Amino acid sequence: MTGCYADVEFAIKGQFKESPNMSLAITSIISALSCAQMLRIYERPLSDVSGQNYNHFATSIWNIIVTMSTVGYGDVFPKTRFGRVLGAFCCVWGVVLESMMVVTLSEGLEFTGPQRNSYTLLQRLNFRDELQVNAVKALKSMFHYKKKNKAKNLLYTTKKVNLKQRTIKLEKTFKRQMFKFKKKESEMRKYNISTEVTFLSKKIYDLQEVFEDMRKSNHKFSKIQDEC
């Protein structure tokens, strides 16, 4: 009906999809036990010659575990040809099982649908608060800049006082706060593209344009002041 045969391969894939952790654990245990028994059969006749006691099953299972995990302590190792071929196969098979374990672990750490929605909502609320704080700081720095700019013009016309260094410091403060605001806004766009964020961003960007106009006029005023 669906163009797919329900063969053994399909059943194995379905089992791994249904319960990947249990399937991987059972596969690893069966592979280790069967390979350890085969290695014991191959290496047991040469135990006296090699000095490695393969009469005990624990020696074989330890060798297989070390080989499949690609650790390779070297305390026990196969001597026969069939044992070495089996060791090479166990090494490759162990890499396959480890890669499947990594994939299973990464899939297990993925958010479900409700979890993803909850995480997105929390990020929206968090970034919204931080965005408002950065916007307030930008407005505050702009207010201080405008206030100092007016004071500079007033003092120049009365007492000829130069406030250039203070003005430059306020310009840097405003630019730094605008940079933080833009960075936080770009981060928030990943989770929230609501009208509230767009409206706030537009107002702050308009404020930046006003700042640039004031900065240009202030520089012109400074040139006139220097000439005088």
How much is the pLDDT for 157? 45
Q: What is the mean pLDDT of each run of 10 residues along the chain (228 residues)?
A: 68 77 88 92 84 86 90 84 91 90 80 75 71 68 64 48 59 69 67 55 61 60 52
129-147 b/e with 16+ CB inside 10 Å = b? ebbeebbebbbebbeebee
Q: How many CA atoms lie within 13 A of 60 on its CB side?
A: 21
How much is the pLDDT for 165? 63
Nearest alpha-carbon partner for 6 in 209, 15, 38, 153: 15
How much is the pLDDT for 174? 67
How much is the pLDDT for 90? 92
Q: What's the predicted TM-score (pTM) here? A: 0.53
- State how far the Cα of 190 lies from the Cα of 201, in Å rounded to an integer: 15
How much is the pLDDT for 138? 67
E strand segments, the chain: none
